[in-house]
Structure 1
């Protein structure tokens, strides 16, 4: 587990929906090179916390720090420009583009002039960064095992590969912080293992800090060095996978008494 200074922090975060407290004083710290899991029963506040961390929702209380600076009022685009990426439960590929072009588009948001359409229809271009974007797309395709379907339309991908494409798009422009929402949903066991290998490589080799929400508890326990458990908007427990599995409160609230190590 990384012992470096946190790159992303939630401090005393609270969110209310009318009279319901979706988050209540949540503290969380994520460090470079760390893979941390966020689990809990439905309605625990996991997605709401992701929304706060990524800038989609402002908290009613508390703050979010990125590199030690308060970014609570910063937009999602500002956070993305400073290295934060996020995926969503619902897959949102550009279905009428190829898999490779989805990764080119994922890097286009930084701009540079000339427009996207000219690139994708093969119009002449003198932009020097075009080759760099294509080269990066090829690297990520190889990393995520998508090279064989690079020229397939994204809409035609089966669920498992579509999930991997979501991850590939999130890391096409190299992230410093990666928030993954249900990344293994719909994947086979082999696909989940491939996903795990990619996530661990991003953390170990590129120093990316990864926070993931996932209902597949086995996946979380295998890939994460640390696990945070939310229940009713509060942090119920935090620790290594072994510590969380052994916590009686967690077993009662989420894992169930029949779960074994």
Structure 2
């Protein structure tokens, strides 16, 4: 994509003798929702670690809005609009839902007027995500589906330009996935946010993403429109038609 907002080019990552990523290139543009799929161990989370700055690649580069940020820290990236959620929930369990969103904005500093504005922003985001009733609940007491939505809301509290979502639909019900998808679409369509998501639920991916990238054993296996990728024989053999991950998402529909 020539108009990519976030781009990884020629990424290589090694863990000792394990070649986790081999010459992987991927990009996502403003207003786009791109899916990143592949079997367990394909390198998806490692690529997210590289994109978010948590791991420096052994080779390759990351550019953000045309600027090389390969050596920039995770903090720098987060404060410049690249936000990430994690496969394992990372909420502040001893804080309320509202305070989880306020904390995400506190790096900006300031005194009382700023603090009030952060709480107003938190309330607005909770409303957009349908979480008003949970504002005063402790995050650590929430069931998985609600916690996933709170994680997304926290990533939106300080308006993002890029969202990296690691299995946002994991452990959710069909209704909760519809609500997640609606918020993600709003961020892409109305706010122009670039969204890259890792997900094993193929129904969720194929209905939500305009483009899909497939990794297998650290290599780029396929890339294209969702329907094209779904029909690709190599993809079906490596992932969609063979492994348990393909059916896992549909079994979770309830």
TM-score using structure 2 length? 0.93
* Per-residue CA distance 1:136-193 (angstroms, 9 max, x = gap): 1011101111101111111111110001011011110000001000100100000001
1:47-86 aligned within 5 A: 47-86=45-84
- What is the CA–CA distance in structure 2 between the aligned matches of 1:110 and 1:243, rounded to whole Å? 43
Gaps of 5+ in 2: 248-254
CA distance in 1, matches of 2:90, 2:78: 17
Match of 1:243 among 222, 228, 231: 228
Gaps of 5+ in 1: 113-125
Please tell me whether the aligned partners of residues 34 and 210 of structure 1 are also in contact (alpha carbons under 8 angstroms). yes
Number of residue pairs matched by the alignment: 245
Kindly state the Cα deviation for residue 257 of structure 1 after the two structures are TM-superposed.
6.3
Match of 1:123 in 2: none
Listed as ranges, the matches of 1:34-53 within 5 Å are: 34-53=32-51
1:252 match: 237
Q: Give the Cα–Cα distance (whole angstroms) in 2 for the partners of residues 152 and 128 of structure 1.
A: 24
Deviation at 1:109, TM superposition (A): 2.2
Q: Give the 4+ runs in structure 1 shifted more than 2 A.
A: 109-112, 257-260
In the alignment, structure 1 residue 186 sits paired with structure 2 residue 171: yes
Matching of residue 127 in structure 1 with residue 112 in structure 2: yes
Superposition RMSD on alpha carbons, in Å?
A: 1.6
2:105 corresponding residue in structure 1: 107
Give a deviation string over 1:98-130, Cα, whole Å, max 9, x none.
111111111112233xxxxxxxxxxxxx52212
Aligned-partner Cα distance in 2 for 1:50–1:26: 12
